[in-house]
A and B are shown apart, each in its own frame.
Chain A
Amino acid sequence: MSADFGENSVFQKDLSRRKVLKVGAAAGGLLATGGLATLLASCSTGTNGDVAAPGTDFTGELTLLLGSHMTAVKGLAEKYNTLHGVLPTVQEITTPDLRSKLTTSFLAKTSPWDAAFATSTIAQEMGKNDWALPTDKFLDQSPRTNETFLENAMAPVNYQGNYYGTPWSVGAPLLHWNKRMFEEVGLDPEAPNNWHSTKNSWDTFVEYAKELTGMRNGVQNYGFTDAWAADHKLYTFGSLLQMHGGKFLDEDGEPVFDSDAGEESIIKMFDLLNTYKVVDPAVDTYTWVFDASPGYMSGNRGMFFTWPFIAGVAQDPKTSKVVGVSGVAPQPAVDTSASVDGSEYLFVPKLASNPDEGWRFLELMSSKESQTAIAATGWASIYGDVNTDPEMLKNFPYYQAIADSYQYPVDGGFSPDRDVWGKILGNEISEALASKKSAKEALSNAKKLMMEERKS
């Protein structure tokens, strides 16, 4: 595989790393003035020099594995055909099934895909197991390289100094709320806008949730909903953990979630569910966003911690009864606001038959034009300036909330075994939420089981 790109490739523009970093710094400074102060930074590059580089061995075949929700990326397939005369074959998968699909294929030493979807929780695992090609050279050579990438959104794919994915969209859970419900019970419908920048606004959030909970017009309303089944609850636990100044893992990747911050986080979740009973009581059965969202969309859940794109779904009259009344902002604060990054990526599998076609698709997907098209469908672009373009903000005001949310910690404790210990920790937190264990016991046991798992 050659290190050079084709004559017609935009990679021909080939910016040097130094130039890129300069552009990145300048762009970062520029965007900072636009309200994206600390979140945008250039990516650090990998330490491993022996990484694959995109080449020009274009075979005329391209197979993509995309999430079933990635309609915007799927839309680029036709464009790829127009540009390069290759119509990609697209396979789709739901996010909960992704890891099994990828790993079973790679274990069988095959990759039917030339570019595949990865979530922030599994990206490092793909890198560690040598299943994904490092993206470093691609990032170095791309004209959009590092320009306005969100540094935080690249952390989940950084394993031992190399990147193993290119984001197609960025985002972390935000607070969504039903303004109409707020008004019905006499609460200020705009109050949550400032909670992220107000210390201890979590307490206000709880007070609001209490007010919002109750029978109205013969319907049971709840102040809050979320998806807390299995390890999905780690988005809220992780947010709370960081709101209290805690972390999942230390610098060496060792677990440190069994801290006072961890205990406080579980206690806060427990109180919502059991003490104040302000949460939809079935949250522990909701395995992902689409289990919890119907309650919010039906208009009888006051607040919802979930992905940014739900703000777009909430505006669709076919599926939502909260059109025009759904607010969105970064999550509330304890010491600080926080969330857990859930950006999504595409990577080129090491066993791909047509890796250069895969890289070329990533190149197309990462172009400003494509990213603008993606952002126009309600999925935040990887470029800060695309998201905060006034025209874009007019249609998708929640992009500002996404940008704001990245001003706060969004660490999800990403490691190659994140999925494995995530399930252990999720299970133990469930035990605590069901009063089977204390918060301290649950966290200690999770740490013990995680260490045993790592040793075994």
Chain B
Amino acid sequence: MPDPRLHILGLQKEKRTAWFFVLPALMLVVCVYAYPIITTLVYSVTSIDIATYTIKEFVGFRNFQYIILNEFFSPTLMRTIYFGMMVVVMTILLAIGVSLLINIDFKGNKILRILILLPWAVPPVVSGVMWSQMFQYEYGFVNKIIKIFGGEGDTIWLGSPRLALHVLIITEIWRWLPFATLFIYAALQTIPRSVIEAAALDGAGYLKTVKGVILPIIFPGIIPVAIFLFVSAMKAFDTIFVLTAGGPRSGTTTLNYLVYLQGFQQFKFGRAAASAYILTALILFVIFVMFLLTRIASQRREMND
């Protein structure tokens, strides 16, 4: 019988070797991620001299306090959450619809699948310019269509904070729809045909099958998409920069755009770093809530089963 101590020693050696191989990659990751994370944290509690780009003084939580007490913070936070949630919910609903559509066998299905991916290939700045022209109030495509259908067609889409925010939401949905569709379509492919056929045999119509069979099966696959979409919406910058520059009247300034304004318009890098941390906290909080909801949903499902 082999000595068990030798086995333990062998395992330890194996572990050491594993660490030896993993360490360089780990160090690279730590350096790449840890440096900006720590630097941003340091900046968030300091005041930076922009002429020399050095730390002027330690200010504690004064940057956070300034941001939170600022009259623009609360509306910006609410706007950011609304923007993110709208992008997530609308993109996923549309992506489910589109995925179900391209999942049906019909002539031209393959071409449709390629066409759906096209917006993903368009650079965000180009799509921003394109959408700004489409929503231009006098010569824009959207107002022209409204006019054709008998409407006034004189809406100044980017002139009011509310309308402009929704134009941005539409742009972001258009941008991320191919990605979400691709994921959900992939999830649909995992459903065995026999399950759908069984539902049909049980007398379930198409809508009932979607609601009662398909959606519950693909639901776990939707959560990572939702998280990805939310994080992407929180990081939206290029479309805002091109379409509205945060206006009108700061009506499309999200937390991420605020970080840019504070950092590269006002050159308050300490404040920008603090805003970036607030944004990160918000993202983490929403991801946590999403995970929690998923867990509750799956527990309920298990109980029902």
Contact = CB atoms under 8 A, between A and B. Distances in A.
Interface of A: 99-100, 103-104, 107-109, 129-131, 229-230, 281-282, 284-285, 287, 294-295, 419-420, 423, 427, 430-431, 434, 436, 453, 456
B106 to A, nearest CB: 42
B250 A281 contact: no
A279 to B, nearest CB: 12
Contacts of B267: 103, 107
The 4 A-B residue pairs with the shortest CB-CB distance, nearest first, are: A129-B51, A285-B158, A430-B249, A282-B137
**Residue among B137, B249, B266 with the highest chain A CB neighbour number at 10 A:** B249
Contacts of A434: 248-249
B175 interface: no
Given A99-B265, A100-B265, A284-B159, 13 more contacts: A103-B264, A104-B264, A129-B51, A131-B51, A229-B247, A282-B159, A285-B156, A285-B159, A294-B139, A423-B265, A430-B249, A434-B249, A436-B249
B266 A282 contact: no
A427 B250 CA distance: 7
A100 B264 contact: yes
A284 B251 CA distance: 13
A230 B245 contact: yes
Interface in B262-282: 264-268, 271
8 contacts: A103-B50, A107-B53, A281-B156, A282-B158, A284-B159, A284-B248, A295-B138, A430-B249
A82 B245 CA distance: 42
B66 interface: yes
Contact of A282 (B66, B156, B247, B250): B156
Contacts of B264: 100, 103-104
A269 to B, nearest CB: 15
A282 to B, nearest CB: 5
**Residue among A130, A282, A295 with the highest chain B CB neighbour number at 10 A:** A282
Interface of B: 50-51, 53, 66, 137-139, 156, 158-159, 245, 247-250, 264-268, 271
Nearest to A104: B264
A285 B66 contact: no
A278 B200 CA distance: 64
B249 A420 contact: no
B157 to A, nearest CB: 8
A445 to B, nearest CB: 9
Contact of B248 (A129, A281, A285): A285
Contacts of B139: 294
A109 B53 CA distance: 9
B101 to A, nearest CB: 35
Given A107-B50, A427-B249, A419 B265 contact: yes
A431 B249 CA distance: 7
Nearest to A421: B266
A456 B156 contact: no
Given A109-B53, A282-B137, A229 B248 contact: yes
A111 to B, nearest CB: 14
Contacts of B137: 281-282, 285
A99 B268 CA distance: 15
A224 B131 CA distance: 26
A431 B53 CA distance: 35
A419 B271 CA distance: 18
Contact of A420 (B51, B138, B159, B265): B265
B266 A453 contact: yes
Given A281-B159, A282-B156, A282-B159, A130 B248 contact: no
A299 B221 CA distance: 55
Contacts of A130: 51
A456 B66 contact: yes
Nearest to A219: B138
A109 B245 CA distance: 27
Contacts of B138: 282, 295
Contacts of B50: 103, 107, 129
B203 to A, nearest CB: 55
Contacts of A282: 137-138, 156, 158-159
Contacts of B249: 427, 430-431, 434, 436
A243 B244 CA distance: 31
Given A109-B53, A420-B265, A287 B156 contact: no
A107 B268 CA distance: 12
A103 B247 CA distance: 22
B158 A420 contact: no
Contacts of A430: 247-249
Nearest to B59: A456
B252 to A, nearest CB: 11
A230 B271 CA distance: 22
A28 to B, nearest CB: 37
Nearest to B48: A107
A93 B268 CA distance: 24
B275 to A, nearest CB: 14
A136 B268 CA distance: 30
Nearest to A295: B138
A287 B158 CA distance: 11
Contacts of A284: 159, 248
A423 to B, nearest CB: 7
A435 to B, nearest CB: 11
A419 B265 CA distance: 8
Contacts of A453: 266
A230 B247 contact: yes
Contacts of B265: 99-100, 419-420, 423
Nearest to A97: B241
**Residue among B53, B139, B247, B268 with the highest chain A CB neighbour number at 10 A:** B247
Contacts of B245: 229-230, 287
